[in-house]
Structure 1
Amino acid sequence: MFSRSSSSGFGRSLSEAAPGLSRRFFNCQNRNKPPHNLRYFSSSRPTPGSRDPRVQIRPIGTLSDIAASRTWTVKLSKSASSPFTQSRITCGRSESWSSRPPPGANSSNLRCIRSFSVSTRSRTQATLAQEINTAEGSKSEKKGFYPKHSTNAVAYWLLASAASVFGIVIFGGLTRLTESGLSITEWRPVTGSVPPRNQADWEAEFEKYRASPEFKVLNSRMTLEEFKSIYWMEWIHRLWGRFVGLSFVVPAVYFVATKRVSRSMSARLLGIASLIGFQGFLGWWMVKSGLKDDLLAPGSTPRVSQYRLTAHLGAAFVCYLAMLWNGLDILRGNKLLSSPPATASSTLAALRHPGLRTFRLAVTALSALVFVTAMSGGLVAGLDAGLIYNEFPYMGNGLTPPKSELFDPFYSHTPDHSDLVWRNFLENPSLVQLDHRILATTTFSAIMALWAWTRYSKSLTSLLPRAAKRGVHGVVGFAFLQVTLGICTLLYLVPTHLASSHQAGALALLTWTFVLGSRTWLPSRAVQKLVMERVGAPTLGGNAAAAAKLRDAATASAASAATPMSATSLASLGGATLLPLLGLGLGRGGSGGVTNKETLGHEDVAPAGKMLVVQKDQFLARQRGIKSS
């Protein structure tokens, strides 16, 4: 029945799991084979010689019947690392083990089983777990190229890249305000990084600019020296863009190669790098719109398309915000992971409070509103709409221009005027400025409403972290500054320094809304999982669910002391194999078995290749609770 050549599935599984079983067990007491009628049985009578005479057991059949019945399901899978990579033992009814000699077998049979179980129990619970830990560790080392979380060095580099993008956005605004964007009429990503080095080169570049509509219509009297000033502005802007791309791509490759970036963050870095390249294409696409020959028609103004200008500005904003958000996310996650487990758990629990969900949604909506307002400012800049109605809050004789001026048929391109509304919204300078005023006023009102909510709502005040409250005050301060800059820019006919400051204020306000969001939004799922693993019981492979089960079972051990032991409790060590069950069942003391009161754990099915390891101190603590009960 238990020999190596047995055709029984149970025998083969047991032989594979413990190759020394036949030699150590079946050769015991000079016996080559156990009797086929060896049974573990019980009766309704108390068991003589057992430690607890109240133990009652029922007949459960031979071992082969156990293996083949519906009561027990044993699955053993073998791998190259360890023969015990998955085991699942469950039972649907309560059973107890007894040391009463079965019929047809003498006491030496049971002594052999008990001797083998005791000698292998320590290896099963300690050595076997160590083998699985080693196997799983080597397996994770082979597959886990990426770390679980990115390092702070990656975060600082992302924030530095965001600062560089912030600078190029402001400098790009200066390039537009000085009308320098159309001075370079070619797009050469590599060779264009070299400026003119002699007089002949300057003459050649100036000749190209003379053929542009901007020179013919607006700058026909420009000299070479004046051309050099606007040329240098555009050349520095383009060179700065190349620097942003190289300073991002090269360190990104280095951080990924040195395993300092997580898998999800590496995908984000790839997306940001692609966005930087796309931004360069948008820049040339925008410049190309200002070099068309149709701008020479009467009534036309040689300037870039307001649509392409807004797209170029929006892509820069998105690139900046992506760098900023990911940098803050990494720093916040590492700070949470480096804090004590109790502090990290309490912080995570506070952020998960349902009362903060509405506040997070409000901050998200506010960030979107600030972004849309900034993009409407791009339309104002592209149409030079700030040069009309230079007063506030009125626009002429009222708060809004006349209706005939707002929806002018001049901007419609179809005979039936089906595009009258949307073209006036995007191409009519009067309506575009009105839109920007309305959006700016709405944004300012929303910010003040958010401040009042956090100031006078007792429930929200008690839930918000102190850093979030300071963040709200920062948003309010930047909102006042931005409104002041916008009004001054309008009243003073868009001077360069005020217009550039107004653009920088928009990006600063958007930055601070994201900073506020980073202090209240939940961290990434990877960080939450790592925090829960640190707080939970030790598990192999980060089985947080199993850790939670184990922690709950340890808490309720005293309450479950009087519960009859089920056969599933024998598998409480996280999916152990049958050998620990034999050790626990027949190897406890000289004659006794596991009684009904000695419940060792809870039912848990370990995933493939993983085993939940119960620590020694937890086991002893539970045993002390059992004895005291």
Structure 2
Amino acid sequence: MPAASGFARVLREAAPSLAKRFFDCSSRRHSSILSQAQHVSSRTKRRAVETRHLTTSPKIPIRRTQVSITCFRNSQANARQDTISRFGRAFSVSTRSRISQANTRDGPIDAAKESGSEGTGKSKSRKSTLPDTSSNTVAYWLLGSAASVFGIVVFGGLTRLTESGLSITEWKPVTGSLPPMSEEDWEAEFAKYRSSPEFHLLNSRMTLEEFKSIYWMEWIHRLWGRFIGISFVLPAVYFVARKQVSRSMAWRLFGIAGLIGFQGFIGWWMVKSGLKDDLFAPGSHPRVSQYRLTAHLGTAFICYLAMLWSGLDILRTNKLLRSSKDVAEASLNALRNPALKPFKRSVALLAGLVFLTAMSGGLVAGLDAGLIYNEFPYMGLGLTPPKSELWDSFYSRAPDRSDLWWRNMLENPSLVQLDHRILATTTFTAVMALWTYARSGALQKVLPAAAKRGVHGVVGFVWLQVILGISTLLYLVPTGLASAHQAGSLALLTWTVVLGSRVWFPGQAARILAQRMQQNVGGAAFGQAGGSTVLSQAGGVHAANANGATVLAASVMPAVTALGLMLSMNAEESLRVQLRARREEKPGKPAPERTEEA
């Protein structure tokens, strides 16, 4: 009994330490509570074992001692498991209740946030599904398409110079893609051509072999046009479907595709003007209308410029957006310089002047005006033909002669050639004036290096074009020189547009760059605010966990203390039972003094 009372005293002394350790868990995690409970239980177990060894006599059989130790261990293990299970249930219940309360409190807010984010994502997806910029692959494809249009313009000039455009008298967009495959097919096509005004008035002695040569020229020209349409429409659909173009570029591609189809219609409309029955009248010249020819040429030029400018715009935009922030801002600030405004306007006016000069060349080709006054700079006895020849009433159709001036400007070969000479000379003078202005001291400092090279390119092409034009006139419009002169006009216009792309301000690229910079700045500010919010929320969670641990320990400790006392009483009772059993086995022998002293 004294030993049992000593063991109870040891447990009572351990109870305050156990309570102190549990109350200190307010600054620790919940898992430390379980480890502390297990540690205290192991200490209690060791003290109980030491007490048992002190109260156990050496004369007791080993078997019964092992049984008593096993019983004590089982009782201690059961008590420890009971303590841990009760504490775990209490902790799990409190944790589940706290989590459920937090979900109940924060659930609607999180749901609103999720629904708001989903709604924002859906609205953004509905707003735009195409990127802000187009890929460089689209730019290279556009430049390749522009090169193909450049080639067909030159080949179309050759078709006009060889008078092959009226060899095919029908327009079959699909079935006309195949040439005659047999001799009977060739005879049928030649029979159709023999019924045209051009054969009766100009080529009445043409043979089948000669007809085949002009037929192949026109057939290749039409097939090339079909190829341009297919090679543009199909890749355009692919790039839009793959989302490799911006929204504005997608609309631009749609417009170019429509322009290509319209160009095919204008081509047949032009050919049809040379097959009219009124051209069979004596004195008529079977050729296409100069108005329709110029419209066909102008549409081809516009289509070419649209492809060229779109490709250059994509490359310039991507280059600007991929550069560093400082380089991009420096480039934009250089193009914003007010000193460049007169130069930019001059380049735009020069591009319009080159285009107008090329269209006047289309009128010259349609009227065969290059076959008269084959000299330069004079036209007959002076710099200009006589006034009566320039404003001839023969070309007027109105009774009051109100259309005299504009019909002579568009239908009189002498005045049409003079107009072309004046426009060409004006273009040459404007280019040289622009070159002189670019070399001035005020503009030399602010003009970009690429623009300076562009000015030199324009000067070189305008000199080449002047030489080709004068040579074509002096040598009575040979096919090679005339075709080179037409190609030179488009090359000069190309280089003028390239010069403009180097000095004109990229408004779309600047807007995209500004939007991205605002998004980056806003994202950084939002990230900082969001980070502080997250940190504050995390701190609140940790504080709530610490407070919850304190409350949990304060609520659990009385039960744990009572449980410890119950365990000590159970252990004391088990020791009493063991001692009573031992005394019943040997009632004549008193307990050893060592045990009593202990």
* TM-score of the alignment, normalized to the shorter chain, above 0.5: yes
CA distance in 2, matches of 1:78, 1:439: 73
Supply the AA of the counterpart residue of 1:504: A
Residue matched to 2:268: 284
CA distance in 2, matches of 1:357, 1:84: 50
Give the deviation of 1:509 after TM superposition: 0.1
Q: How does 1:83-162 map to 2 (within 5 A)?
A: 136=120, 139-141=123-125, 143-162=127-146
Residue matched to 2:357: 373
Q: Given the alignment, which residue of 454, 463, 468 partners 1:471?
A: 454
SS in 2 for 1:147: coil
Give the deviation of 1:84 after TM superposition: 9.8
Q: Is the 8 A contact 1:341 1:534 kept in 2?
A: no
CA distance in 2, matches of 1:234, 1:253: 29
Aligned: 1:390 with 2:421: no
SS in 1 for 2:352: helix
Supply the AA of the counterpart residue of 1:216: H
Q: Is the 8 A contact 1:345 1:532 kept in 2?
A: no
Residue matched to 2:199: 215
Residue matched to 2:591: none
CA distance in 2, matches of 1:168, 1:137: 47
Residue matched to 2:393: 409
Q: TM-score, normalised by structure 1?
A: 0.66
Count of residue pairs the alignment pairs up: 440
CA distance in 2, matches of 1:413, 1:337: 58
Greater length-normalized contact order (CA 8 Å, ≥ 6 residues apart)? 2
Aligned: 1:508 with 2:491: yes
Residue matched to 1:256: 240
CA distance in 2, matches of 1:153, 1:468: 25
Larger radius of gyration: 2
Residue matched to 1:197: 181
Give the deviation of 1:175 after TM superposition: 0.2
Supply the AA of the counterpart residue of 1:517: G
Residue matched to 1:344: 328
Q: Is the 8 A contact 1:151 1:260 kept in 2?
A: yes
Q: Is the 8 A contact 1:406 1:431 kept in 2?
A: yes
Q: TM-score, normalised by structure 2?
A: 0.69
Aligned: 1:451 with 2:444: no
Q: How does 1:202-601 map to 2 (within 5 A)?
A: 202-456=186-440, 458-525=441-508, 527-536=509-518, 538-539=520-521
Q: Is the 8 A contact 1:406 1:424 kept in 2?
A: yes
Q: Is the 8 A contact 1:81 1:135 kept in 2?
A: no
Q: How does 1:153-172 map to 2 (within 5 A)?
A: 153-172=137-156
Supply the AA of the counterpart residue of 1:411: Y
Using the TM superposition, name which of 527-536 and 387-396 deviates more: 527-536
Measured at CA, do residues 287 and 537 of structure 1 come closer, stay the same or move farther in structure 2, by a change above 3 Å? closer
Q: Is the 8 A contact 1:181 1:234 kept in 2?
A: yes
Q: Given the alignment, which residue of 110, 113, 121 partners 1:82?
A: 113
Give the deviation of 1:263 after TM superposition: 0.3
Give the deviation of 1:342 after TM superposition: 1.2
Which runs of 5 or more structure 1 residues have no equivalent in the other structure? 1-19, 28-76, 86-131, 542-546, 551-571, 591-629
Q: Is the 8 A contact 1:78 1:84 kept in 2?
A: no
Give the deviation of 1:352 after TM superposition: 1.5
Residue matched to 1:184: 168
Hey, which of these two has a bigger chunk of helix by percent?
2
Measured at CA, do residues 78 and 221 of structure 1 come closer, stay the same or move farther in structure 2, by a change above 3 Å? farther
SS in 1 for 2:459: helix
Give the deviation of 1:211 after TM superposition: 0.4
CA distance in 2, matches of 1:573, 1:317: 51
CA distance in 2, matches of 1:303, 1:81: 74
Give the deviation of 1:522 after TM superposition: 1.5
SS in 1 for 2:358: helix
Give the deviation of 1:144 after TM superposition: 3.0
Measured at CA, do residues 217 and 537 of structure 1 come closer, stay the same or move farther in structure 2, by a change above 3 Å? closer
CA distance in 1, matches of 2:322, 2:467: 42
CA distance in 2, matches of 1:320, 1:469: 24
SS in 2 for 1:416: coil
SS in 2 for 1:220: coil
Give the deviation of 1:465 after TM superposition: 0.8
CA distance in 2, matches of 1:435, 1:21: 89
Q: How does 1:24-103 map to 2 (within 5 A)?
A: 82=113
What CA deviation, in whole Å up to 9, does each residue of 1:4-59 have, x standing for no partner?
xxxxxxxxxxxxxxxx99967x99xxxxxxxxxxxxxxxxxxxxxxxxxxxxxxxx
Which runs of 5 or more structure 2 residues have no equivalent in the other structure? 1-97, 544-598
Using the TM superposition, name which of 499-508 and 136-145 deviates more: 136-145
Measured at CA, do residues 156 and 79 of structure 1 come closer, stay the same or move farther in structure 2, by a change above 3 Å? farther
Task: Calculate percent identity across the aligned residue pairs.
Answer: 69
Q: Is the 8 A contact 1:252 1:269 kept in 2?
A: yes
Give the deviation of 1:530 after TM superposition: 2.7
What CA deviation, in whole Å up to 9, does each residue of 1:357-392 have, x standing for no partner?
221111111000000000000000000000000000
Give the deviation of 1:137 after TM superposition: 5.5
Measured at CA, do residues 139 and 436 of structure 1 come closer, stay the same or move farther in structure 2, by a change above 3 Å? same
Measured at CA, do residues 251 and 226 of structure 1 come closer, stay the same or move farther in structure 2, by a change above 3 Å? same
CA distance in 1, matches of 2:371, 2:521: 67
Supply the AA of the counterpart residue of 1:385: A
CA distance in 2, matches of 1:539, 1:407: 68
CA distance in 1, matches of 2:278, 2:364: 22
Supply the AA of the counterpart residue of 1:388: I
Supply the AA of the counterpart residue of 1:496: T
Measured at CA, do residues 257 and 540 of structure 1 come closer, stay the same or move farther in structure 2, by a change above 3 Å? farther
What CA deviation, in whole Å up to 9, does each residue of 1:421-454 have, x standing for no partner?
1000000000000000000000000000000000
Measured at CA, do residues 402 and 266 of structure 1 come closer, stay the same or move farther in structure 2, by a change above 3 Å? same
Supply the AA of the counterpart residue of 1:409: S
CA distance in 1, matches of 2:265, 2:347: 32
CA distance in 1, matches of 2:473, 2:383: 15
Q: Is the 8 A contact 1:341 1:531 kept in 2?
A: no
CA distance in 1, matches of 2:388, 2:446: 51
